[in-house]
Amino acid sequence: MAVVLGANRYGKAQVRLVRVVKDGAVHHLKDLNVSCALSGEMDAVYLRGDNSAVLPTDTQKNTVYAFARTHGVDQIEDFALVLARHYVASQPAVHHARVEIDEYLWERVPAGGPAGPPRSSHSFVRSGREVRTCVVHHDRDGTTSVMSGLKELVLLNSTGSEFQGFAVDEFTTLQPATDRILASEVTARWRHGHAGGAFGESYSEVRHCLLQAFADTYSLSLQQTLYEMGRRVIETRPEVCEVRLTMPNKHHFPVDLTPFGLDNPNEVFYAADRPYGLIEGAVLDDGAPDAGSAWE
């Protein structure tokens, strides 16, 4: 039996980076989590412990910090592209670079006094909004892919959802629901048809499409809602050719109040955190090229 080395990559994960831009008295904050992974002609280090082709992961960490100073950090997709292209261009043994970034959002603290400015110039509070994400791949042959996304976006419709007409067997106890709460914590990733663009505007508009489709759809199933959310993005944003959504069903069960002599006209619910239904799917332009390993 022959034993061979399979696919491999290595890198520095979870590099915490906070970048402050001081525009006079007004400061701007970027809070990122950056992970880099490199692959290419790396067989020797795995098979013989030969490190000559290995760019240390500590060096990758330092590169993130140095580039934050020299290149700045505006849109996370652009910063990831700069890093990925640098690793491939600067290291002969590196044929592919993958850079993943999560961005944690902050808001300015309102000023305390009536005579002060409307917002503080240097005080921030961590936003309760979702986490913005991106994954960039860059190959030595010049092939580049950009995946933008978000996670931890919690949505809820208090009505406008039902679930009935489903398959049943001897283990089915679920009763049909004609008026239920529909809630989910959305993870979405979308693929840009070309590398480069106005990523900030695109992110805002895709997020708006997801929110509006969730709100506008009378839901017969969470699967249907997922598809409508993805379709809204594809039909509205020409720069996006594919959307992948992961949507756990955050169940809300009406509480039986009859033991207390009370009715419950769908007003009091128990929010169950587990187990939960997990719905996943992709929606794409039927002319979009195959993403291959770019989703990994």
* Residues classed as catalytic: 12, 57, 251
Helix (H, G, I), strand (E, B) or coil at 212: helix
Cα 99 to Cα 64, 254, 290, distances in angstroms: 10, 44, 20
- The C-alpha atoms of residue 34 and residue 14 are separated, in whole angstroms, by 5
- Return the amino acid letter for 34: V
Chain centroid offset of residue 120 CA: 29
Cα angle 120, 123, 128; round to 5: 105
DSSP category for residue 130: P
Which stretches does DSSP call E strand in 207-267? 240-249, 252-254
For residue 43, the 8-state DSSP code is H
Tell me the residue length of the chain: 296
